[in-house]
């Protein structure tokens, strides 16, 4: 399973980086979202997958999965959401004032 997820992480990063290297702001934002997903899956995978029950003590299981990466990912999800929301509005504003969503175009506008 871990091998499969590792490959999936690789694909998510590939597509994410490919999108980030494009010109359109929308594609760049989508690329960062994909890379965020990749990072979260990477964190989860690194602790080992399916090694026990969900980390709820009521389960009374023999073993539980590692709760620490889950807490870290939860924090990360919220932070990346905040940042993404900010970027979306920033992109919107940038388009309104520069008249283009082409990052190279915005650069030329400024010069």
Binding to another protein, residues 2-61 (CB under 8 A): 2-27, 29-30, 33-34, 37-38, 40-42, 44-58
CA 111 to chain centre: 32
Binding flag, residue 109, another protein (CB under 8 A)? no
Binding flag, residue 98, another protein (CB under 8 A)? no
Residues in CB range of 67: below 8 A, 6 or more apart: 55
Rounded to a whole number of angstroms, the minimum distance from the CB of residue 75 to another protein is 5
Rounded to a whole number of angstroms, the minimum distance from the CB of residue 110 to another protein is 9
Q: Which two tokens stand for residue 23?
A: 């010109």
Rounded to a whole number of angstroms, the minimum distance from the CB of residue 95 to another protein is 6
Distance (Å, whole) CA 22 – CA 15:
11
Site for another protein in 64-93 (CB under 8 A): 64-68, 70-71, 73-75, 77-79, 81-86, 88-93
Query: Phi, psi at residue 96, to the nearest 5°?
Result: -65, -40
For residue 74, give the nearest of 44, 51, 49 by alpha carbon: 44
Rounded to a whole number of angstroms, the minimum distance from the CB of residue 98 to another protein is 12
């Amino acid at each position: 399973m871990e091998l499969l997820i590792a490959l999936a992480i690789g694909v998510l990063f590939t597509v994410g980086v490919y999108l980030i290297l494009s010109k359109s702001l929308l594609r760049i934002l989508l690329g960062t979202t994909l890379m965020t997903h990749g990072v979260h899956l990477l964190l989860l995978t690194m602790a080992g997958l399916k090694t026990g029950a969900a980390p709820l003590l009521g389960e009374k299981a023999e073993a539980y999965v590692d709760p620490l990466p889950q807490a870290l990912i939860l924090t990360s999800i919220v932070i990346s959401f905040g940042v993404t929301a900010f970027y979306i509005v920033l992109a919107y504003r940038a388009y309104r004032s520069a008249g283009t969503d082409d990052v190279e175009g915005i650069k030329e506008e400024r010069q």
